[in-house]
Amino acid sequence: MGAKMKAMVAAAVLASAGGFAAGANAATVVQIASYTQVGGGKTFAWDGVGGNGGRLFTNSTLAANASAAQIGAASAQWVNVIFNFNDAGVMGLQGQLLFNATAPTGAATQLTNTNPIRQSGLNGSFAFKYTGGSPVTAYGTTFNTGANLLSGTFTNGWLSVGGSSGGFADSYGLTGGTVTLTSSVIPMNKLIDGDLGFSFSGLTPQAAIIGANGTRQLRDFRASAGANFSATAVPEPTTWALMIMGFGAAGAILRRRAAAVAA
């Protein structure tokens, strides 16, 4: 093969590789959904246990000043929310959220009353369901009451609180955890490598560490909440098809040029 042909082949290979890399890097992190709670009550509860660890769960029937015993006896329940498909521009949907996470006794935490106080090692799940009475269309999918708007499981989430505010987060980059998302509405190619972040306000009582030595724990509290969810969106199948067609076209051009040089 002559020097000119080698240069042509190298240029075509580099162009194809560049196109493939650009397609692979076309995956971008987007905010896919968010929610706000309905009303100004407390919709989340933290139930601490001696020796670190505890439960974080949704509950709207506990009193804001519920005792530790009352919180310990309570279970996770669905709470009313307003849900948004941010990426699709479909906003203000009536829905409900169920969230339940636990950190085993001995899970790592920041054991001082400096801000923020952090409890790590939370594993659990969440689910949003549609409770509106009329069909809605998002991402080209029409859904009805009871549809799974967004749900997921997660590992090694972090609860970070200080004073009367804080949040819960989980992502591979931030906490070293994992988030797996599913939905009967959002296309699966938009739910890769999920991140979730809940924000808490109005903590009652304010965040504090109680106990001593091996029995220290994050004190029980109730809080209002909202959240944002993001994920990596990978290229659509049509995008991959166009890239493959590009490879084929580059190969055809090389074959024609090779034949012309040989002649």
**Does 243 lie in the same domain as 199?**
no
pTM for this entry: 0.79
Q: Mean pLDDT, the chain, as a whole number?
A: 81
Note the pLDDT of residue 108. 73
DSSP collapsed to 3 states, the chain: CCHHHHHHHHHHHHHHHHHHHHHHCCCEEEEEEEEEECCCCCCEEEEECCCCCEEEEECCCCCCCCCHHHHHHCCCCCEEEEEEEHHHCEEEEEEEEEEEEEECCCCCECCCCCCCEEEEEEEEEEEEEECCCCCEEECCEEECCCCEEEEEEEEEEEEEEECCEEEEEECHHHHCCEEEEECCCCCHHHCEEEEEEEEEEEEECCCCEECCHHHCEECCEEEEEEEEEEEEECCCHHHHHHHHHHHHHHHHHHHHHHHHHHC
Q: Could you give the number of structural domains in the chain?
A: 2
**Does 254 lie in the same domain as 159?**
no
**Does 49 lie in the same domain as 165?**
yes
**Does 45 lie in the same domain as 1?**
no
**Does 105 lie in the same domain as 22?**
no
How confident is the model over 172-192, as pLDDT tens digits?
Answer: 877 789 999 999 999 999 998
Token pair of 59 as six digits: 């509950």
Closest CA to 127 of 181, 175, 164: 181
Q: Find out whether 199 and 224 touch, Cβ atoms under 8 Å.
A: no
**Does 245 lie in the same domain as 214?**
no
**Does 216 lie in the same domain as 154?**
yes
How confident is the model over 96-137, as pLDDT tens digits?
Answer: 999 999 999 888 777 565 678 899 999 999 999 999 999 999
| Residue 5 domain boundaries | 1-26+236-263
Q: Is the pLDDT of residue 152 over 50?
A: yes
